Chains A and B, each alone.
Chain A
Amino acid sequence: MSRLFDSEFLKKIQQLTLNTRFSLDGASVGNRKSRSKGSSVEFSDYREYAPGDDFRRIDWNAYGRFEKLFIKLFMEEREAPVTIFLDVSKSMDWGEPNKSIASRRLAAALAYISLANFDKVSMVCVDDSIQKICRDIRGKNFFYRITDMLENVHYSGKSYIYQAIESFRIFSGRGITAVISDLFSKGDFRNLLKHLKYYKQEVYICHILSPQEIQPALNESVRLVDSETEEVLDITVTPSLLNSYNRALINFKNRIEHECNKWGAHYFNFSSELAIEEMVKEVAEY
C-alpha cells in the first residue's frame, strides 16, 4: 500500500462506513422500479393519494376505514450508481497541504463508502478532458482498482473540467455524482449542474482550496505565475489588495453555493488541511 492510501487511512474509512450513509435520497421514490431483481420491498409510510400516483398502490383497506385514498410508500433497496469526478488539472497540485492529496483521499473515501453500501462506483479523473476512468466498480474487493488509478494520476492539464464532465455520458440513469475540484475552471459552472441534473444525478460539489488560497501569505511586490497557463500578473501586496482578494474569494464561493442551491446540488467547501474524516462526515452525513 502506498503512502497516499495507507492502512491507517483504510482503517479510518472503514470506521466511517459504519456511521455514514452516502446514498440516494428516498423522497421522490414511487414511480421507479428497482433494477435489482429478487430484492424485497420494505414498507416505509403512508401518504394521501395525489393525481398522477400509481393507483395500483392505493391501500384499499385504509380507504375502507377512513374513506380517504392513501397510497403505501416503500423503501427501495437498490444498487445506486455513484460517479466521482476528480479534478486532476495542474492547479489541484498546489498548496500546503497539497490539494491533490486531500482531494484524492476524499475521492477514495467516498468510493469506499459507496462500495460498502453495495453501490457501483465510477471514478473519473478530468482536467481539460477525461484523463482516466475506472468504471462500474462493485464490491469492496475491487476498491484497489480505484486506489491504483488515483495513485498514478498525473497532474498536468488545464482546468476545463466543466466541458470535460459535460462530455461524459452517464448511462446508469438516476444516481449520485460527486465533483471534487478547486473549481478554478474555465467555462460555466451552471452548465455543469444543468448537465448533471439532466441525467437525474444527486450532485455533491466538494470545493477544495488550500490554506494559501484562503489566506494568501504574500509580501511586497511579486509576479504571480499561473501554474496552468503560465500567465503572469505583477502585484504589490497591500492591505487593500488583500481585502479585495478576500472579497473576490467570498464572492466566488457564494456564487457557486448560490448556483448549487438553485439547482438542488449539495455544496461543501473544504480547506486542504482539514482531516479526511471531517470531510467525509460532512459529505456523507449530509
Chain B
Amino acid sequence: MIFHYPLGFLALLAVPIIILLYLLKQKHENYIISSLHLWQNALQDMEANAPWQKLRKNLLMFLQIFAVVLLALILSEPFIRSGKSNGGEIMLVMDCSLSMQSTDMKPSRFEAAKRDALELIESSQPGTKFSLIASGSTPYIVLHNVDDKKRVMQELNALIPSDTAEDPEGTVELVNSLIRENSEIQVKWFGDGANPMPGSRTEYYSYNRNGNNFAITLLSHRKLQNSREITALSRIANFSQQSAELDVSLYADGNFFDARRITVDAGESENIYWTGIPETVSKLECRIDTKDILEKDNYAGIIISSNKVSKVLLATEKNIFLEKVLSLMPNIELFRTGIDDINELKGYDLYIYDSSMPEELPEDGHIILFNPPGNKYFSSAGKSEYTNIQFSKHSLFNNLDSDSSFSALKADLYQLPVWANPLMENDSGVTAFEGYLDKIRIMVFGFDLHETNLPVKPYFPVIMTRIVQELLPESSNSISAVNAGDQIELSIDPEAEKVYVVFPDGNRKLIAPPFPAAAFNETTQIGIYTLEQELENSTLRQQFFVNAPSEKENATAKTAKGIEQNGEMEQNLRSSGGWSLKTVLLWLLLLILLIEWWVYANGIAI
C-alpha cells in the first residue's frame, strides 16, 4: 500500500488534542446520596449486560480518535497496488465515431466507455502518465504524457462522440507513432468493434451488445431526359442479426411524399425506388421510422440540382471533341467562337480556350486552357514527343484505374506555378495543372486533344463532366449530399466577396476570404449545411446535405465480439492499476460517525 499524499497524516495531530480535551473535560457536580449501594449494583448490572462496556468511559473518545485516524488515512489517499501493474504510461484511445452514440448500452456506448475509462484513471497508480487519443474521422491527440489525473479526467469528460466514421487505420498509425516514442506504454482502446491492433499490447474493450441498427446507406436521384419527373433511390441496410420489417418514408421539400414497408434480411440491404417526384422539388429526405439503437443514421437527405443554365464560352478553331462533349452536358448553354476576338468577350460562367488565350484573362469566370500559347501567367519547361501521360492524384480522377494513361504525339511541359496542383504528368514533368489565380480557378492542359488518344478513351466524357462541374459555381450542387467527416471542395463563385458555411445547428463560419477557400472538412454534424456567398449586390445560397456515414461506420464496427467480452473487461480494467481505498474509508468514517452519534444519543457512554 502506498500513500499518495503522506502530508494527510498531519491530521493525526488532532488525536492528542482530543485526548487533552477529554482530560480537561469538566468535572462532575457533587451530589450527596444516602448510599452508593444501589448505584454500584446498577452499574455492575450494566456491565454484566454489555461486556465491552469496560471501555465505556472512553468509548466516545476512542470513536473520535478512530474517526480522526480514518480522516488522516483518507487525506493521505491510500492506494493498494495490484501485483500486475507497474504504473508507467497508459494510452487511452476513445472511439468518438457515430456508432458510439448507439444506445444498446446505457446511456450510450460512448458514455459507458467513458465511465469505465474514468474508473481506470481513478484507480490507476499515482504518477501514471496518460495519453488520450480521440479516434474519429480525423484522429488526434488530446493529451500526451500527463500525470495529473484530474486534468486527464476533465479532458476525457469533455470528449463527445462525433457524427463521423472512425478512421481506424489513421488511429493505428497515430498510436504506433506514440508507441515508437515509448515502447513500455500500455494501450487501452475503448471502441465498439474489434481490436484493430491484434497481437500487440493493445487491450481492446468493446462496447457493443449487437443491438438492432438500420440505416439509409444511399439516397440519390435521377431526372430522366424529356421527363418532368424525378426518380429517387434509397438503399436501406439492416446491420442487425435478424431480418426486420421497416417503415421508410420519403419527404419532398419537407412534406410527406410516400411511405413503404420493406423486409430486409440480417446483414443485407434493399433498394427502394421512389417515382413520380415532381421536377420542381429541390430537397428530398428519407427516414426509417422503425426505432433502433442509433437514430442518426436512419435519416438521409439530398439536394436536387437547380435547373440554372450556365453560360460556357468555347473558343476553338474546330475542336469537335470539346464541342461534342460540352453539348451533351445538361444545364449548359454553349457559345462557340473563333480565336480571333477572344480578348473582348465577357459575361460567361466558364471560358474554354483551345490553342489560344487572351492576353488578359477574364475575371468573371473560371478558365480551361488547352494547348495554350506562351503567356505571362505561367511558363513552359520544354516539350515532350511521343509521350505517355498519366493522371496525378486528384479528386477529378477518383475511381479511375490508377494506371490509366493516354498517349500524346506532342505535349508541353510546365514549371508548376506556386498556386497550382499537378493534374497530369509524364516522365519528364507536369503537362497539366490547376489552381486558383486570385479568385479565378484555372485548368491548363499542355496538349492539343487532336494529338492525343484521350478523346477516344472511355473515361474522357467522365473527366470532362467532372472538370466542368468542378468549375461552374452551380456545380457545388453536385455535392448534393456527402457523408459526415468527408472533405468537400466547395466551388466558389469568382465574384464572391465573402463566403460562409452555415451549420445544421445554426452556427455560421467564414471560410473565405482569404481566397481561394480551403477545402471544407468540418462536416462533423449530420443535417443541412448552407453555403452562403456574398456577391457585390446579392447573396448566393446553396444547400447540401451531410448524411451519416452509415456504411463505412458499420463496416469498420463492427465485427464486434459482443457482450461476452465485457465480463472480463472489468477485471482487466481493475487489474491494470490497483485499488484506491479512499471510497471504502469514507464509508467507514461515515459508519463511525453514525455509531458515535448513536452512542451519544443513547447515552451508552458513562
A binds B: yes
Interface size class of B (residues with CB under 8 A): 20 to 34
Min CB–CB distance B597 → chain A (angstroms)? 15
- The reply to whether the CB of A231 lies closer than 8 angstroms to some CB of chain B is yes
Min CB–CB distance A154 → chain B (angstroms)? 17
Residues of A within 8 A of B49 (CB): 244
Closest to A223 in B: B28
From residue 164 to 217 of chain A, which have CB atoms closer than 8 A to chain B?
182, 184, 210, 212-213
Q: Is the interface of A mostly helix, strand, loop or mixed?
A: mixed
A248 contacts B34, C-beta separation under 8 Å? no
B31 contacts A228, C-beta separation under 8 Å? no
From residue 224 to 270 of chain A, which have CB atoms closer than 8 A to chain B?
224-229, 231-241, 244-245, 247-249, 251-252
B603 contacts A222, C-beta separation under 8 Å? no
A184 contacts B34, C-beta separation under 8 Å? yes
B39 is contacted by which of A91, A224, A229, A236 (Cβ under 8 Å)?
A: A224
- The reply to whether the CB of A2 lies closer than 8 angstroms to some CB of chain B is no
- The reply to whether the CB of A159 lies closer than 8 angstroms to some CB of chain B is yes
A94 contacts B602, C-beta separation under 8 Å? no
- The reply to whether the CB of A29 lies closer than 8 angstroms to some CB of chain B is no
Stretch from B3-11, B40-48, B436-444 at the A interface? B40-48
B30 contacts A233, C-beta separation under 8 Å? no
B37 contacts A184, C-beta separation under 8 Å? yes
Closest to B47 in A: A244
- The reply to whether the CB of B172 lies closer than 8 angstroms to some CB of chain A is no
- The reply to whether the CB of B23 lies closer than 8 angstroms to some CB of chain A is no
- The reply to whether the CB of B604 lies closer than 8 angstroms to some CB of chain A is yes
A251 contacts B34, C-beta separation under 8 Å? no
Min CB–CB distance A34 → chain B (angstroms)? 43
Residues of A within 8 A of B179 (CB): none
C-alpha spacing A245/B30, complex, angstroms: 19
- The reply to whether the CB of A28 lies closer than 8 angstroms to some CB of chain B is no
A240 contacts B31, C-beta separation under 8 Å? no
- The reply to whether the CB of A157 lies closer than 8 angstroms to some CB of chain B is no
Residues of A within 8 A of B309 (CB): none
A244 contacts B42, C-beta separation under 8 Å? yes
A213 contacts B34, C-beta separation under 8 Å? yes
C-alpha spacing A218/B603, complex, angstroms: 14
A238 contacts B28, C-beta separation under 8 Å? no
Min CB–CB distance A242 → chain B (angstroms)? 8
Residues of B within 8 A of A231 (CB): 36
- The reply to whether the CB of A221 lies closer than 8 angstroms to some CB of chain B is yes
Contacts A233-B40, A238-B602, A238-B604 given; does A218 touch B34 at CB 8 Å: no
A238 contacts B35, C-beta separation under 8 Å? no
B33 contacts A225, C-beta separation under 8 Å? yes
Min CB–CB distance A281 → chain B (angstroms)? 26
A252 contacts B41, C-beta separation under 8 Å? yes
B34 contacts A224, C-beta separation under 8 Å? no
Residues of B within 8 A of A235 (CB): 28, 39, 43, 606
B29 contacts A222, C-beta separation under 8 Å? yes
Contacts A94-B33, A223-B28 given; does A244 touch B602 at CB 8 Å: no
Residues of B within 8 A of A239 (CB): 603
- The reply to whether the CB of B20 lies closer than 8 angstroms to some CB of chain A is no
- The reply to whether the CB of A95 lies closer than 8 angstroms to some CB of chain B is yes
Residues of B within 8 A of A225 (CB): 30-33
C-alpha spacing A102/B586, complex, angstroms: 61
Given A222-B28, A233-B43, A240-B46; 7 other pairs, CB 8 A cutoff: A94-B33, A221-B28, A226-B33, A233-B36, A237-B603, A238-B603, A247-B42
Across the A-B interface, give the 10 residue pairs with the lowest CB-CB distance, nearest first: A238-B603, A223-B28, A184-B35, A248-B41, A91-B34, A94-B34, A245-B42, A244-B42, A248-B42, A222-B31
